[in-house]
C-alpha cells in the first residue's frame, strides 16, 4: 500500500535511492542538486543504507568513480546540475560507450553565461547526444516514480545504457508536494538486485572496459550502442507496464492531455506542463479544441509515436526551454519536426523558446500561444517558425 508523505523532488529522489540501496554513491555538490547527496549522507550516517559514499573533488571525478564502480560490477549512482553536468561531459560519453547502467539524477539548471542558478534545460540538452537515456519529470511524484524505474531500464540485458532522471531545478527539486511513496520492501522487490553478466571482478572471464577503438572497430561499437538505444524504447514501456501493475501509476513515452479531438496542440516538457494543462482546461471550457503532449522520454526520442499522436492536429507549437543556437529553434522542435517530416498530412508547426534562466511561464502565456496557433489555422500563414516567448522586445519574433 502506498504511503502518503510530503517532500521536495530532491528528497523524493534521495528516498528512492535509499530504498534501492545502491552499492556506490559518488558525490560532488552543486546547486540545486546538492540536497540529494546531503539527504543520502544522512541515510549513510544513520545506517539506513550500506552504500559506499565517496566524496570526490569534482563532477568529472564523480562520474569517473561511478564508471569504475559499474565496470567492477557494482550498482552506482550520482547527482548533479548545470555546469556540473557539463564538467562530466567527457565521462558521460565514456559511461554510455562502455555500456555501464549508471543512474544520474539531474536537477536541471541553466548553463553559464551569464551566470544563472535557475531552471531551464540547457544543461541536459547539451548532453542529448552523449548516449544517456533521458527521462523528464513534471512533478515530485514523477521524479520519484521515474527514479524507481531507472535501474531496471538501464540494466536490461540488451540495453545496458546509463540513464538521466531529470527534474526542474528549484521548481521541482525544492518545492514541497504531496507524494505517494511505496514501502521499502515493495521497492526492493520491484527494482531487484543487480546481476551484471560481465564485469571486471569476474575472474572466470577477464575483459577490458573502454578499450582504444581503432577504425576497424569504432563504428561497430557505435552501431551497437545505437541499437541499444532503440532497444531502450521497448524496455521503457515494459518497465512502465510492470510499474503500473505493481503500483498503479501509468507512464509512457509521453502524456496526451485532452488530445482526442484537438485541432491545436503544444508539445512541452517538465513542470511547465502543469501550468499549460490549466490553460488547456480553461480554453476547453470556452469551446476551443486544444490539447497538450508532455514529453517524458527525450532519449530515446519517441518519434513515430509522437507523429501518430499529432496526425490529426492542424497546428502545433513546440515549447523549448533551452536555446538551440541553430537559428532555427531549440532541440525539442528539431526532434519533433524531424519525427513529422514523412507524415502524409503534417500539421503546421512552430517553435517557441521560453523560460530561459528561470523566466516565468504562466497560464496567460499558454493562452497567447494557443491564440497564435488559432491565427495560423484561420489565415493559413505560419509566419516566423522560431519565436521567443516572454522576452522584453518589440520584434514580431517575440510573443
pLDDT tens digits for range 313-355: 999 999 999 999 999 999 999 999 999 999 999 999 999 999 9
- Is it the case that residue 393 has pLDDT exceeding 90? no
What CA–CA distance (Å, rounded) separates 271 from 361?
10
Q: What percent of the chain has pLDDT over 70?
A: 99
Question: Can you tell me the distance from the alpha carbon of 7 to that of 174, in angstroms, rounded to the nearest whole number?
Answer: 9
Chain centroid to CA 76? 19
In this prediction, residue 397 carries a pLDDT of 64
Report which of residues 206 and 194 the model is more confident about: 194
pLDDT of residue 44: 98
- What pLDDT was estimated at residue 235? 98
pLDDT at residue 398 in the model: 63
Q: What are phi and psi of 375, to 5 degrees?
A: -65, -40
Cell numbers given for 281: 482546461
Smallest Cα–Cα separation from 318: which of 342, 299, 338? 338
For 55-70, write each residue's pLDDT tens digit. 999 999 999 999 999 9
Domains (ranges, CATH) in the chain? 3-247 (3.40.50.970), 254-388 (3.40.50.920)
Mean pLDDT, the chain, as a whole number?
Answer: 97
Residue-wise pLDDT for 25-46, tens only, equals: 999 999 999 999 999 999 999 9
What is d(CA 363, CA 357) in angstroms, rounded to the nearest whole number? Answer: 19
Q: What is the pLDDT of residues 152-189, one digit of tens each?
A: 999 999 999 999 999 999 999 999 999 999 999 999 99
Cis peptide before 114 (omega within 30 of 0): yes
Query: How large is the average pLDDT for residues 121-134?
Result: 98
pLDDT of residue 399 exceeding 80, the answer is: no
Give the per-residue pLDDT at 211: 85
Between the alpha carbon of residue 313 and those of residues 6, 204, 264, the distances in Å are 38, 57, 6
* pLDDT tens, residue by residue, 279-321: 999 999 999 999 999 999 999 999 999 999 999 999 999 999 9
In this prediction, residue 153 carries a pLDDT of: 98
Q: Give residue 82's pLDDT band: very low, low, confident or very high (50, 70, 90).
A: very high
Q: Check residue 207 and give its pLDDT.
A: 86
Q: Where are the alpha helices (DSSP H) in the chain?
A: 9-20, 35-45, 59-71, 82-87, 89-97, 122-125, 140-154, 184-191, 215-247, 272-285, 303-310, 331-340, 363-379
pLDDT tens across 196-228, in order?
999 999 989 888 888 899 999 999 999 999 999
Check pLDDT > 80 for residue 233.
yes
Amino acid at each position: 500500500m502506498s504511503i502518503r508523505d510530503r517532500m521536495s523532488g530532491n528528497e523524493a529522489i534521495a528516498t528512492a535511492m535509499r530504498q534501492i540501496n545502491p552499492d556506490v554513491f559518488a558525490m560532488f555538490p552543486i546547486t540545486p542538486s546538492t540536497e540529494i547527496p546531503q539527504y543520502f549522507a544522512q541515510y549513510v550516517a544513520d545506517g539506513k543504507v550500506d552504500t559506499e559514499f565517496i566524496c570526490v573533488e569534482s563532477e568529472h571525478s564523480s562520474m569517473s568513480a561511478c564508471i569504475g564502480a559499474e565496470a567492477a560490477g557494482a550498482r552506482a549512482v550520482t547527482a548533479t546540475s548545470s555546469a556540473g553536468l557539463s564538467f562530466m561531459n567527457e565521462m558521460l560519453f565514456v559511461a554510455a560507450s562502455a555500456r555501464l547502467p549508471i543512474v544520474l539524477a539531474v536537477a536541471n539548471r541553466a548553463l553559464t553565461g551569464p551566470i544563472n542558478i535557475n531552471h531551464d534545460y540547457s544543461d541536459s540538452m547539451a548532453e542529448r547526444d552523449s548516449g544517456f537515456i533521458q527521462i523528464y519529470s513534471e512533478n515530485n511524484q514523477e521524479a520519484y516514480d521515474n527514479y524507481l524505474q531507472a535501474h531496471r531500464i538501464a540494466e536490461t540485458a540488451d540495453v545496458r545504457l546509463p540513464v538521466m532522471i531529470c527534474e526542474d531545478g528549484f521548481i521541482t527539486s525544492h518545492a514541497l508536494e504531496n507524494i505517494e511513496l511505496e514501502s521499502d520492501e515493495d521497492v526492493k522487490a520491484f527494482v531487484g538486485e543487480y546481476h551484471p553478466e560481465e564485469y571486471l571482478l569476474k575472474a572466470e572471464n577477464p575483459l577490458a572496459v573502454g578499450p582504444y577503438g581503432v577504425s576497424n572497430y569504432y563504428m561497430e561499437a557505435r552501431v551497437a550502442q545505437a541499437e541499444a538505444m532503440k532497444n531502450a524504447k521497448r524496455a521503457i514501456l515494459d518497465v512502465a507496464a510492470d510499474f503500473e501493475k505493481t503500483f498503479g501509476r501509468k507512464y509512457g513515452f509521453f502524456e496526451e492531455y485532452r488530445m482526442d479531438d484537438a485541432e491545436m496542440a503544444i508539445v512541452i516538457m517538465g513542470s511547465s506542463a502543469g501550468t499549460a494543462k490549466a490553460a488547456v482546461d480553461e480554453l476547453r471550457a470556452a469551446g476551443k479544441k486544444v490539447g497538450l503532449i508532455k514529453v517524458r522520454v527525450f532519449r530515446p526520442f519517441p518519434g513515430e509515436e509522437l507523429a501518430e499522436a499529432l496526425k490529426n492536429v492542424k497546428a502545433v507549437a513546440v515549447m523549448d526551454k533551452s536555446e538551440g543556437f541553430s537559428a532555427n529553434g531549440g532541440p525539442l522542435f528539431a526532434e519533433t519536426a524531424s519525427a513529422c517530416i514523412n507524415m502524409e498530412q503534417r500539421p503546421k508547426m512552430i517553435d517557441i523558446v521560453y523560460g530561459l534562466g528561470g523566466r516565468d511561464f504562466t497560464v496567460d502565456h499558454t493562452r497567447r500561444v494557443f491564440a497564435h496557433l488559432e491565427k495560423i489555422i484561420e489565415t493559413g500563414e505560419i509566419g516566423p517558425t522560431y519565436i521567443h516567448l516572454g522576452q522584453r522586445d518589440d520584434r514580431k519574433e517575440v510573443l
